[in-house]
Amino acid sequence: MRLEVGRIAAVHGIRGEVRVELWDPEIRPQGRELYLEGEDQPRRVIGVKPWKAGAILALEGIASRAEAERLPGKRLYGESAAAPRLGAGRYYVHDLVGCEVFDEQGERLGEVRAVEARPAQDLWIAEGPRGRFLIPAVRATVLSVDLAERRITVRGGGVLGPDAAG
C-alpha cells in the first residue's frame, strides 16, 4: 500500500527541482523512491534541500524547469512499509479512512471517508445514514482511536453534524 507523504507546491529554479510540502516533518526523503500521482513507476530522490514547509527535491528523470512545470499540485506517495512509526495520538490518513465512528453513547455516526488538513487541526470527514459529519482531530473531541478494531469514539458535542457539514 502507498502512503501519501506530501504535495508538490511549486517549481524551484531551472534544474527541475520542486518545492514539496511534506505531511510529516520526520520523513527523510533523500535516497527514497517516491511515486508521483498518476505514475506507476517510482522516482528516486537524488537531492534534498530544506524548505520552510518541507523540502526542495530533485527527482530522478526530471532535469529541467520545463519538465517540472507539470508537477505542482501532484501528490507524492511512498511505500507504507517504509513509513516511520508515529507517536501516540498521531495517525496516517490511510489508517483512519474506513474506520467506523461512534459518539460516546455508542450511536454510529458513519465511516471516515477523508481527512482534510487545516491550519489549526485536521478535520476527519465521516459519512453515514444521517449525513456527513466533520470531526476536529483534537483530544477534546476524539475520545479514542482503535485501529485494530477500526473504531473511533468521539464526543458528540465537538462534532459538526449533517446540517453544518453540508
29-68: pLDDT as tens digits: 777 899 999 999 999 999 999 888 789 999 999 999 999 9
15: pLDDT strictly greater than 70: yes
Q: Which residue has the higher pLDDT, 107 or 94?
A: 107
pLDDT at 84: 62
Strand order in the sheet with 108-116: 131-136, 123-128, 108-116, 100-103, 151-154, 142-146
CATH numbers and ranges of domains, the chain = 2-82 (2.40.30.60), 93-165 (2.30.30.240)
Strands 151-154 and 100-103 turn out to be parallel
Cα 110 versus chain centre, distance: 20
How far apart CA 89 and CA 118 sit, in angstroms, is: 17
- Is the pLDDT confidence value at 162 over 70? no
- The lowest-confidence range among 83-87, 94-98, 127-131, 132-136 is 83-87
CB of 98 closer than 8 Å to CB of 61: no
